[in-house]
Amino acid sequence: MSKMGERPNESTSQLTVRDYENIDHFFRVVLTRHAAGALHLDTAIGSLAHVISCLDSGNIDEARRWFEEGADPMGSEFLSS
């Protein structure tokens, strides 16, 4: 088992180092925007829960789309930039 913050070996994970960088950025953007009042708590929770659910169910491509594009279920652009 890896330590918190440590990336697993790419040969044993479906996620790449780039995926982990995108995950970190996605979570940082969601949490920062919520803290700044620019993102409603329910939307932040829903976005994080969605990508966690994608990863848990093995839907890596959908999770990657969210991490790379900053998509949200309502189709708004709140995570872009």
Terminal CA-to-CA distance of the chain, rounded, Å? 34
| In a domain? residue 44 | yes
Mean pLDDT of the chain: 80
- Segment 36-46 shows an average pLDDT of 92
Structure tokens of 41?
């708590």
List, for residues 14-26, the tens digit of each pLDDT value.
Answer: 889 999 999 999 9
Nearest Cα to Cα of residue 34 among 21, 49, 42, 63: 42
- Domain membership of residue 23 (yes or no) is yes
pLDDT of residue 72: 53
* Parent domain of 52: 15-69
What secondary structure letter does DSSP report for 7? P
Domain presence at residue 6: no
* Domains contained in the chain, number: 1
Q: Position of tokens 């309502």?
A: 74
